[in-house]
Copies of this chain bind each other. A is one copy, B any other.
Amino acid sequence: MKLALIGVGLIGGSAALAWRHTGSVAEVIGFDCDSIALARARERGVIDRVASSAAEAVRGSDLVLVAVPVGAMRTIFAAIAGAVPAHAVITDVGSTKRSVIDAARLELNANSSFSFRRFVPGHPIAGRERPGVEYAEATLFNGKLFVSTPVGETSLEALTQIEALWRAAGARVTRMDADEHDRIFAAVSHLPHLLAFALVARIASEPDGEHKLGFAGAGFRDFTRIAAASPAMWRDISIANRAALGEELRGYRALLDEMQRAVDAGDAAAIERIFDLASRTRRSHARTFDAE
């Protein structure tokens, strides 16, 4: 099977490596707007050949993996719509699903030679502190979750094929509705990123920010680790999922209003109620999280 990899970053690169190792794909043609990343992917053996455009990459492929920031999905879909073989399956790894599905419906579905039935929206839940194909590894998805969010038109055959590929890469597979996906990940991923970015940005923008950061301990290190992530990627996610993220942020801000009142008033009981619920919950999930 011939894979066209559009976007040779950490996730796309790791998927290509995993599928090579398991023999799921025999040849990988890569395209990325970043020619340095493309060269690195070639050096690391992530891809066999470099294409000069997304359309060129998908020509003659059996499988297309679109692994670009969610804000670039529509442009890529538009670029490949006329070039994807009719039998090929297209899938993606976007962290938000509704926006990707809407973009695919507009651009891929409008194309007569490719059937929208062969588009499988998906999201592997894996990452690293640092982005980039230099950190890509075949084992990245081992024991991690892959969420597929098929739409009404998605063919069962294409869906089954993509889910089998992620299982081969070591992932556990689950299916859900795109809107449910976006709501869940707004809560457990997108909001935490926004909060960590905001905390570090706030300290950094103060005159004595550098001095303060000199006293940060292990708690701060862990809490802010996700703030080292790619600003462009998370800007795209925040915009693409802004409805669900906006709701989560609103709810969280309402809780912080309560916390402000409790702190200002020295209301120890109110503070402890929140802290205690959080601590019990986090401890009861420690095993699940730390197994990852």
Contact = CB atoms under 8 A, between A and B. Distances in A.
Interface string A228-259: 11111011101100100110011111011101
A183 to B, nearest CB: 8
Interface in A249-285: 249-253, 255-257, 259-260, 263-264, 266, 268, 271-272, 274-279, 281-283, 285
Interface string A79-111: 000000000000000000000000000000000
A51 interface: no
Given A126-B217, A145-B215, A281 B201 contact: yes
Nearest to A283: B228
Contact of A263 (B220, B227, B228, B238): B238
Contact of A223 (B196, B228, B257, B278): B196
Number of chain A interface residues as a range:
35 or more
A240 B197 CA distance: 27
A245 B275 CA distance: 15
Interface of A is mostly: helix
A272 to B, nearest CB: 4
Nearest to A147: B215
Pick from A204, A215, A272, A276 the residue with the most CB of B within 10 Å. Answer: A215
B260 A253 contact: yes
A204 to B, nearest CB: 4
A226 B219 CA distance: 6
Contacts of A275: 197, 201, 231, 234-235, 238
Interface stretch (A14-22, A55-63, A186-194): A186-194
Interface in A191-231: 191-205, 209, 211-231
A279 B199 contact: no
Given A246-B260, A255-B201, A275-B231, A219 B282 contact: no
Given A202-B251, A256-B256, A279-B227, A235 B271 contact: yes
A211 B185 CA distance: 11
A229 to B, nearest CB: 7
A290 interface: yes
B212 A193 contact: no
A26 interface: no
A286 interface: yes
B221 A223 contact: no
19 contacts: A188-B203, A189-B220, A202-B252, A204-B277, A205-B277, A216-B288, A216-B289, A219-B226, A221-B289, A221-B290, A222-B223, A223-B223, A224-B278, A231-B279, A238-B263, A239-B263, A239-B266, A246-B260, A246-B263
